Amino acid sequence: MVLGGCAAPRGIMLPEMQTWPARQDTLGALEHWEFRGRIGVSAGSEGFNGKLRWKQNNDRFDVTVSVPLVAGAIEIEGRGGSVRMTDKDGEVTDMQDVEADIRARYGWTIPVESLRYWALGIPAPGSPAITEVDDYGQLTSLEQRGWMVTVSQYREGGGQPMPRRVAATSADAKVRLVIDHWIVR
């Protein structure tokens, strides 16, 4: 019983997703999931590498980016249509346009609202996308909102292949994710 209290959260098993339409439908309908991994962002001479935790509950998300050599972390919370960022110094900012506000503050940006979907390996809804998939119905690349996204590796998450390595590149920034652990609820 003592060991049971220390176990990591397990999550549910996803159904088979052997076609692109099945993958889009299944992953697009997920309401509760999280992943932990690493993130790298570069934009010109600016950028960072750090740890990333993303927790999604319906239209609410909590993202924590921890950057070594910098005391603290950046937290981004989304609640419906509002997004709030707390920086490493504890300063809280309510954001109107997340990407533009992050760019103005740090000189680089991450596509926060789309990254939720791209990390799952599907296009963000509400915006046209050009997609390429492999023979297993898994996304290999997409172009959306001025970003080129590639998924170069998959690994098990919820009993099915989920993105492990994701790169998103725009005209002025590059975001790299390495997802180490998926939990689907």
The candidate with the shortest Cα–Cα distance to 24, out of 124, 152, 150, is: 124
The pTM of this model reads: 0.90
**What pLDDT was estimated at residue 7?**
45
| Cβ atoms < 10 Å from Cβ of 21 | 9
> Exposed, middle or buried, 105 (CB in 10 Å: 0-12/13-18/19+)?
middle
pLDDT at 21 (0 to 100): 97
In the chain, % of residues over pLDDT 70: 92
Q: How confident is the model at residue 47 (pLDDT cuts 50, 70, 90)?
A: confident
Whether 166 has a pLDDT exceeding 90, the answer reads yes
